[in-house]
Amino acid sequence: MRYLRVGPAGAETPVLLSGGDHFDLSGVTGDIDGAFLAAGGFTGDVADLPRIDISGQRIGAPIARPGVVLCIGQNYAAHAAESGATPPEVPIMFYKAPNTVVGPHDDIAIPRGSVKTDWEVELGVVIGQTARYLETAEDALACVAGYVLSNDVSERDYQLAVSGGQWSKGKSCETFNPLGPWLVTPDELEFPLRLRSWVNGEPRQDSSTADMIFDVAYLIRDLSHYTVLEPGDLLNTGTPQGVALSGRFGYLTAGDVVEVEIDGLGRQRSTTKDAS
- Positions of the chain with pLDDT under 70: none
- Nearest partner of 24 among 37, 39, 12, judged by Cα: 12
SS3 168: helix
Q: Decide: residue 160, CB within 10 A, 0-12 exposed, 13-18 middle, 19+ buried.
A: middle
- Where in the chain are the domains? 2-60, 69-274
SS3 127: strand
- pLDDT on residue 78: 82
Residue 37 CA to residue 140 CA, distance in Å, equals: 16
Read off the pLDDT of residues 247-264 as tens digits, 9 standing for 90 and up: 999 999 999 999 999 999
Return all residues near 275 (Cβ < 8 A) that are at least 6 apart. 109, 110, 111, 112, 173, 174
Read off the pLDDT of residues 209-221 as tens digits, 9 standing for 90 and up: 999 999 999 999 9
- pLDDT on residue 55: 97
- pLDDT on residue 122: 98
Q: Is the CATH code 3.30.559.10 the one for domain 69-274?
A: no
Residue 210 CA to residue 194 CA, distance in Å, equals: 9
- pLDDT on residue 86: 84
- pLDDT on residue 77: 86
